[in-house]
Chain A
Amino acid sequence: GENVEQHPSTLSVQEGDSAVIKCTYSDSASNYFPWYKQELGKRPQLIIDIRSNVGEKKDQRIAVTLNKTAKHFSLHITETQPEDSAVYFCAAYFSGGYNKLIFGAGTRLAVHP
């Protein structure tokens, strides 16, 4: 079935440390994997995405890696700051021809000063 699993559900780090969030997906045909950040009471906002034709993508302190063979992808945040505190969702598009975006359950990241 269509499923995206995300771990951990909560993550607490000290400011300046790195944070890693991991996701696995079930559909081997999935080829687009966005990551969204949601602050309390606000809308999800795309922070980075990766397509299946690349294995890694970086944008300043944020990077995403993709292992298509293992069907997992990860978000890496380096030099974390308190403003990185939020809930992070991974997602994967599932095949079938349409844009069905299936989300992971989310990771609540807390960055302590």
Chain B
Amino acid sequence: NAGVMQNPRHLVRRRGQEARLRCSPMKGHSHVYWYRQLPEEGLKFMVYLQKENIIDESGMPKERFSAEFPKEGPSILRIQQVVRGDSAAYFCASSYSGTKDEQFFGPGTRLTVL
């Protein structure tokens, strides 16, 4: 049973470009969460999605950031017009149910904005 997959593992973008981060949950999991980890800091909740629905996006910046989890395919975290402050590790996690189950984390995508 493959774990949570994320790609790319490393992404370099110049200021103003777009970044697309992908997350495939564990098989059988339909709940996906995105977290951001700035260097030397903890994990900050960004958004919680189920298939085709955003359940809680209270941790997402209001502008430039969006997330989706389509019926088919991976969840996507999209950052438009990236700035240097967006440089961070972005982790995706998945869980089997939405009732306080263990969340399994992916390996993360390390975004560097030049």
Q: Cβ of A89 and Cβ of B43 under 8 Å apart?
A: yes
| Residues in A whose Cβ lies below 8 Å from that of B43 | 44, 89, 103
Chain B interface extent, by class = 20 to 34
Q: Cβ of A102 and Cβ of B45 under 8 Å apart?
A: yes
What is the CB-to-nearest-CB distance from B98 to chain A, in angstroms, rounded to a whole number?
6
Q: Using CB atoms, name the residue of chain B closest to A108.
A: B40
Q: Cβ of A99 and Cβ of B98 under 8 Å apart?
A: yes
Q: Cβ of B42 and Cβ of A98 under 8 Å apart?
A: no
Q: Cβ of B103 and Cβ of A43 under 8 Å apart?
A: no
**Chain A: how many interface residues by the 8 Å CB criterion?**
23
User: In terms of DSSP, what is the predominant structure of the interface of chain A?
Assistant: strand
Q: Cβ of A99 and Cβ of B42 under 8 Å apart?
A: no
Does A57 sit within 8 A of B, measured CB to CB? Answer: no
| Residues in B whose Cβ lies below 8 Å from that of A102 | 45
Of B60-68, B69-77, B105-113, which binds chain A?
Answer: B105-113
What is the CB-to-nearest-CB distance from B106 to chain A, in angstroms, rounded to a whole number?
6
Q: Cβ of B100 and Cβ of A99 under 8 Å apart?
A: yes
A40-61 near B? 1/0 per residue, CB < 8 Å: 0011111001000000000000
Q: Cβ of B48 and Cβ of A44 under 8 Å apart?
A: no
Q: How far is the CA of A46 from the CA of B95 in the complex (A)?
A: 13
| Residues in A whose Cβ lies below 8 Å from that of B56 | 96, 98, 100
A69-113 near B? 1/0 per residue, CB < 8 Å: 000000000000000000001000100101111111110000000
What is the CB-to-nearest-CB distance from B93 to chain A, in angstroms, rounded to a whole number?
8
List, sorted by A's number, 5 A–B pairs whose CB atoms are closer than 8 Å: A36-B105, A43-B106, A96-B56, A101-B93, A103-B35
Instruction: Give the interface of A toward B (CB within 8 A).
Output: 6, 31-32, 34, 36, 42-46, 49, 89, 93, 96, 98-106
